[in-house]
Structure 1
């Protein structure tokens, strides 16, 4: 069977203030997706106000006038950062948009002089694509970091830049 590969659409990344409705809707869909797969105490995704914190840079990815995805980087301290809220819209799944968002965040983190990135993602099967993506660029599993504690619904990962 031949797999049909859809080429990566041309993407434009914008440092986003979360004011546009398509971006706000994507954040809401992201939160709903996290809440559908994990109990409330294990959902660590940030709502709109959390994503507006001074320690966070949030980007939207656009294909023409259509939002294709989003991702954020939280600065923990001078050397450490955390990837937050990566999500691809359903219409762009399987086209390399998630990898492009991740590559953008990694580049921005290096530009900020960060040395280590961390992330928390889910442990259930619905998060396998995310974990596979992170592993593909060198993230490895680790223990909880920063203010996180042990959680059977969480997988913690890290990457030295």
Structure 2
């Protein structure tokens, strides 16, 4: 990744941001059974308790990510996605590091997420595992099964 990456809280109003969210949702629908698409659409990313961030490099959108407040000790990672031209270049990893910093700043004891088990999700799972995320039981309304897995990191 080149220098100059900046991550800021975002209001989801930019066309580039909306397009990347649409791409993320489209990808989740293409790679997941309909009943297993847990990606948040734009309006749910704007709900109270969800904080959305964007990563830019020299003005270009590189990645998005959000953290959802579950309770005073637990946050959930949502909508992690690198823009296609930034995949494999560290933008997603930078976003993950930022979100973990936000979680620590909020005093969360752990951060969790739900993701798929298929090959399409392998790069993301590998990134989470690199940072110490481990399999866990379902949380919130998620059910662990042959498609879905839940991961958590104790902070």
Fold shared by both chains (TM-score > 0.5): yes
Instruction: Compute the TM-score of the two structures, normalised by the length of structure 2.
Output: 0.97
Q: RMSD over aligned Cα, in angstroms?
A: 0.9
Separation in 2, partners of 1:66, 1:141: 34
Q: Which has the larger radius of gyration?
A: 1
Segments of 4+ moved more than 4 angstroms: none
Take 1:144 and 1:93, find their aligned partners in 2: how far apart are those partners? 28
Is 1:38 the counterpart of 2:37 in the alignment? no
- Unpaired runs of at least 5, structure 2: none
Give the Cα separation in 1 of the matches to 2:3 and 2:80: 18
- Residue of structure 1 equivalent to 2:126: 132
The question of whether the paired residues in 1 share the 8 Å contact of 2:9 and 2:51 is answered with yes
What are the superposed Cα offsets for residues 62-90 of structure 1, whole Å, 9 maximum, x if unpaired? 11111001000000000000000000001
Structure 1 position 146, deviation (Å): 1.3
Q: Which residue pairs with 1:14 in the alignment?
A: 8
Give how far 1:94 is off. 1.2
Q: 1:1-161 maps to which residues of 2 (within 5 A)?
A: 7-161=1-155
Q: Distance in 1 between matches of 2:2 and 2:123?
A: 17
How far has the Cα of 1:152 moved from its partner? Answer: 2.2
Contact 1:8-1:97 within 8 A present in 2 as well: no
Q: Any unmatched runs of 5+ in structure 1?
A: 1-6
Give the match's secondary structure for 1:86.
strand
